[in-house]
Structure 1
Amino acid sequence: MVAPARRSFLTRLTRNPYVAGATPTLGGLIFGCDISSMSAQWDNEVFLAKMGHPSPFRQGGITAAMPAGSFAGALLNSYLADKIGRKRCVILSGWIWVVGCIIMAVANDVRTLIAGRVIGGFAVGIASAIVTVYQAEITKPSMRGKIVSIQQLSTMSGIMIQYFVSFGFAQTAGELTFRAPFGLMAIPGALLGSLMFIFPESPRWLMDKDRNEEALQILADVHAAGDTEDALVRLEYNEIKKQIDFDRTQAARSYMDLFKPDVRLRVFLGMSDQMWSQLGGMNVMMMKAAGLQGRQAGLIASSVQYALGVAFTIPTVFLIDKLGRRPLMFGGAVSMASCLLIVGTLTAAFGHAVNGSGASNTVTWVVDGHPAVRNAIIVFSYLFVCSFASTWGPCSWTYASELTPLRVRAKAVSFATATNWTFNFVLGLTTPQAFHNLQFGVYYLYMAFNILAAIHVFFMFRETKGYSLEQIDEVFANGHPFKAWQVPKDIVPAKALQRDLEGRHVEDLQHDSRTDEKDEKGEFAHVENVMHPSSTTA
């Protein structure tokens, strides 16, 4: 066995699997910053005066500009990610975000502000569609869920940080109250666009471009401290190469590949899990519908919600690769439906509608005169936030990023992300009107969505934890009745295979993997036997 070459400190740092996987989640931080960037401004008299006291309709347009831009960015990423690479897309998103923040910070009218939000949203759309793909393609199967779910933790942290920064500057005087929060949002984007230059490209994208030696070295650096002769590295390298060779036997890559029989179910599942994450009701439960009156009470309530969102995402980062995606999403949907049922029932029994003042026609359903009921509604609203943060929040991004093969992965994840932004945009426009028309019935509507999500997960969402990205094809293989709660028994999870490689068979497997790589005719026979022990080779 040849000892790996001595690596510099910078190489060791940027090839560390945790550092390489976590640094791109600065894209999640800008995502979170944009989500809460307007929260404090609608109560900021200096901002409202500068923007000409926009009507509720114009306020909706300002808010909706971000998801509209994000939708466009996510769709463009479906082309860019395969053309220029995962790493360059991440870099591009960071610097476009900086431009958008600068425009927002200097805006003197609504049109300029909307332009800045569209550009910033465009950057967020690219980042949200590519960061999880990059993470999934560069990490080990045994830690993929942990690394990808850091993206959601970063998003929740960005929401909370920007919320407190905005309200902090709201206590100052002059236009600094809104220009400073907008300008400071550029910092994570500049860090993302700068730091990613020193990180490696996705090895799977490199191999797809026939840069095999470079890809092998990156796999070795990230997975085996630079040892290109490591058995698991060789095995994964051969698996990726086999997948790419197979993909090249298919028709020319195009958007029509998303509808081919071997991937269309998985593309649909990726889009569905993003849809259900939006229809779960997080936007509704984050609204001040529990009878809290006054800015100070609203600040406290929102602060608690954001803090809980961050705190309850952290355990999932460490548990998602142990518990799996499927049980977390199913359990989360059931838990959120239960919270919505309780909140809706208590609100219907003890609450009443309050019409918005002035030009606003927004209806808020509040509870007065029943402090115990009001507190119960607040508690179950918080429990809902905890349920979402620990299940659908991180799982929806993780699951969508690992479902499809390399040839369509960037396009499929971009379409899934565009689905997220579509429903984000629609819900942002319709939720206030839904409260006006359905009142407390809104809670029952979103409860029904969660029940449908739980049913969908149970019957259609197959578990993906522990399998390499290339093994997912076998997990969803055709040719047998599809039962989502079962996985074909002849597939050895990559995590279990790693334990075997680290055990008594390691030397034999190292020898075999090197021999297989040199033998073009039987290049993948050994890999097939190890990964699928019940199969036979010609």
Structure 2
Amino acid sequence: MVKQFGNIYLIAGIAIIGGGLFGFDISSMSAIIAGQGYLCYFNQGNTPCTGPSSSTQGGITASMAAGSWLASLCSGFVSDAFGRKKAIMLGALIWVVGCIIVSASQNIAMLIVGRIINGFCVGICSAQVPVYISELAPPTKRGRLVGAQQWAITWGILIMFYISYGCSSLKGSAAFRIPWALQMIPAIILFFGMMVLPESPRWLASKDRWEECERVLVLVHGHGDPNSPWVAREFREIKEWLEIERQSKQISYLTLFTPRYINRTHIGLFTQIWSQLTGMNVMMYYITYVFTMAGLTGSTLLLSSSIQYVINVAMTVPALIWIDRVGRRPTLLAGSILMATWLFVNAAVLGAKGVAVPGGVGGIKEAKVQVTGAASKAVIACSYLFVASYAPTWGPVSWIYPPELGS
């Protein structure tokens, strides 16, 4: 039997690699779509090295989200049947398969298939990692540990962006094949790392594996002491929770839409939906297009884009420190106001000072407007401020809040 470790920070540190995989995907696409290797290899137009059409590029980018959406719907069934731990390990294996296909892509169709498969992993891990951590973490640390999922995403974005930036000088398809292949490494670490972690005690209890449930509680909460009051309290709470569940009427997914649960369901769904609709994913995937419109080119473009990823990592830290003190709702409200402000300013500057460029700025056809001078600096500054507002608010809280609704 493999030795298991009960340190909650180690458990969270390994599990959140699943979030890092999401980040790897975001920045690998962001850094690569403006590179000559990618543009030439996947070129669709009559003009050489202009890359896929705008609609096709949108489809390539969205294919990962499509796979993620589908897998997130199924991940609950997988997790309930086989456990949180095995579901996350399955996600890691799926990611490796997707990376093999993506890095070996011979055409756009193969690239899209690989990204859909990668999305399956993101859907499973995004749904199950916060649940897994929240079911193991003590209430006093739950917010920061679940929020670390977002921090892992920001680190994944930052690390992969610089890997992709480093490979951008390579000739031919190696410029994008190497970064996409390297994405397999964290998934392999996640798979083997999960082997030494315990299963969720709540899932074990739901399967009437009470002895294993108690062993996990002793390992994680009792630090090896079976007589710890923490262990007794958690064990009693799990029993009470399970008795209530079993005494209730037969629970199905339709139960979530009954009057008793509809409010929780609405909040859980829309916290994640609005987190995506804030515009953060656009700023992550397409920041090179935004900064191209602001007049940046070449290595300056990629380096300036990378600054926002550094901001993303750094500004997530305050949330991990203070989120359990400040609360969820005030944090979301503050983030919404700040993000709206920077987006409105950006839109106003581009609308008032932008000059239309029919062929696209710098040959990038998606960058159809250009600003210069003070307007250019305003666009760059507001883009950074938008990321700095999202990182400590909607970023981590969107992962923390939904798992807490059922507790």
**Structure 1-normalised TM-score?**
0.69
- One-letter amino acid of the counterpart of residue 17, structure 1: I
**Which residue does 2:405 correspond to in 1?**
403
Q: Tell me how far apart the structure 2 counterparts of residues 17 and 332 of structure 1 sit (CA, whole Å).
A: 29
Q: What is the CA distance between 1:46 and its match in structure 2?
A: 3.1
Task: Answer yes or no: is the 8 Å Cα contact 1:355–1:362 preserved in 2.
Answer: no
Q: Tell me how far apart the structure 2 counterparts of residues 382 and 124 of structure 1 sit (CA, whole Å).
A: 26
Higher mean displacement: 86-95 or 190-199: 190-199
Please, which of 287, 305, 310 is the counterpart of residue 308 of structure 2? 305
- Specify the structure having the higher radius of gyration (Cα): 1
**Which residue does 1:121 correspond to in 2?**
119
**Which residue does 2:386 correspond to in 1?**
384
Q: Tell me how far apart the structure 2 counterparts of residues 93 and 403 of structure 1 sit (CA, whole Å).
A: 24
1:236-261 per-position Cα deviation (integer Å, ceiling 9, x unaligned): 21111111111111222321121233
Q: Tell me how far apart the structure 1 counterparts of residues 381 and 56 of structure 2 sit (CA, whole Å).
A: 33
**Which residue does 2:323 correspond to in 1?**
320
The structure-2 alpha-carbon separation of the partners of 1:284 and 1:181, relative to structure 1 and needing over 3 Å to count, comes to closer
Q: Tell me how far apart the structure 2 counterparts of residues 61 and 339 of structure 1 sit (CA, whole Å).
A: 27
Higher mean displacement: 284-293 or 67-76: 284-293
Please, which of 266, 269, 272 is the counterpart of residue 267 of structure 2? 269
- The answer to whether the aligner puts 1:22 opposite 2:13 as a matched pair is yes
The structure-2 alpha-carbon separation of the partners of 1:374 and 1:176, relative to structure 1 and needing over 3 Å to count, comes to closer
Please, which of 352, 363, 367 is the counterpart of residue 371 of structure 2? 367
Q: What is the CA distance between 1:336 and its match in structure 2?
A: 1.4
Task: Answer yes or no: is the 8 Å Cα contact 1:353–1:363 preserved in 2.
Answer: no
1:130-152 per-position Cα deviation (integer Å, ceiling 9, x unaligned): 11110111100000011011110
Q: Tell me how far apart the structure 1 counterparts of residues 256 and 2 of structure 2 sit (CA, whole Å).
A: 42
The structure-2 alpha-carbon separation of the partners of 1:223 and 1:355, relative to structure 1 and needing over 3 Å to count, comes to farther
1:337-369 per-position Cα deviation (integer Å, ceiling 9, x unaligned): 22223333444443333334499864544322x
Moved over 6 A (4+): 358-361
1:446-503 per-position Cα deviation (integer Å, ceiling 9, x unaligned): xxxxxxxxxxxxxxxxxxxxxxx3xxxxxxxxxxxxxxxxxxxxxxxxxxxxxxxxxx
Task: Answer yes or no: is the 8 Å Cα contact 2:360–2:369 preserved in 1.
Answer: no
**Which residue does 1:352 correspond to in 2?**
355
**Which residue does 1:294 correspond to in 2?**
297
Alignment RMSD:
2.2
The structure-2 alpha-carbon separation of the partners of 1:268 and 1:40, relative to structure 1 and needing over 3 Å to count, comes to same
Q: Secondary structure at the match of 1:338?
A: helix
Q: Tell me how far apart the structure 2 counterparts of residues 79 and 216 of structure 1 sit (CA, whole Å).
A: 24
Q: What is the CA distance between 1:21 and its match in structure 2?
A: 1.7
For structure 1, the residue ranges without an aligned partner over 5 or more in a row are: 1-7, 405-468, 470-538
- One-letter amino acid of the counterpart of residue 371, structure 2: V
Q: What is the CA distance between 1:9 and its match in structure 2?
A: 12
**Equivalence map 1:276-287=2 (5 Å):** 276-286=274-284, 287=287
Q: What is the CA distance between 1:153 and its match in structure 2?
A: 0.6
Q: Secondary structure at the match of 2:221?
A: helix
- The answer to whether the aligner puts 1:188 opposite 2:186 as a matched pair is yes
Q: Secondary structure at the match of 2:309?
A: helix
1:296-331 per-position Cα deviation (integer Å, ceiling 9, x unaligned): 332122111111001101121111112121221111
Q: Tell me how far apart the structure 1 counterparts of residues 111 and 343 of structure 2 sit (CA, whole Å).
A: 35
Q: Tell me how far apart the structure 2 counterparts of residues 147 and 295 of structure 1 sit (CA, whole Å).
A: 38
- One-letter amino acid of the counterpart of residue 25, structure 1: I
Task: Answer yes or no: is the 8 Å Cα contact 2:356–2:368 preserved in 1.
Answer: yes
Q: What is the CA distance between 1:374 and its match in structure 2?
A: 2.9
**Which residue does 2:163 correspond to in 1?**
165
**Which residue does 1:483 correspond to in 2?**
none
Q: Tell me how far apart the structure 2 counterparts of residues 343 and 160 of structure 1 sit (CA, whole Å).
A: 24
Q: Secondary structure at the match of 1:39?
A: helix
For structure 2, the residue ranges without an aligned partner over 5 or more in a row are: 45-51
The structure-2 alpha-carbon separation of the partners of 1:43 and 1:343, relative to structure 1 and needing over 3 Å to count, comes to closer
Please, which of 87, 105, 108 is the counterpart of residue 107 of structure 1? 105
- One-letter amino acid of the counterpart of residue 37, structure 1: S
Number of residue-to-residue matches in the alignment: 394
Higher mean displacement: 280-289 or 188-197: 280-289
Q: Secondary structure at the match of 2:357?
A: strand
The structure-2 alpha-carbon separation of the partners of 1:113 and 1:163, relative to structure 1 and needing over 3 Å to count, comes to same
**Which residue does 2:32 correspond to in 1?**
41
Task: Answer yes or no: is the 8 Å Cα contact 1:52–1:109 preserved in 2.
Answer: no
Task: Answer yes or no: is the 8 Å Cα contact 2:294–2:380 preserved in 1.
Answer: no
- One-letter amino acid of the counterpart of residue 57, structure 2: Q
Q: What is the CA distance between 1:52 and its match in structure 2?
A: 4.6
The structure-2 alpha-carbon separation of the partners of 1:377 and 1:362, relative to structure 1 and needing over 3 Å to count, comes to closer
1:175-227 per-position Cα deviation (integer Å, ceiling 9, x unaligned): 32221111100001111111111210000111111111211221121112122
Q: Tell me how far apart the structure 1 counterparts of residues 30 and 379 of structure 2 sit (CA, whole Å).
A: 22
Q: Tell me how far apart the structure 2 counterparts of residues 192 and 84 of structure 1 sit (CA, whole Å).
A: 17
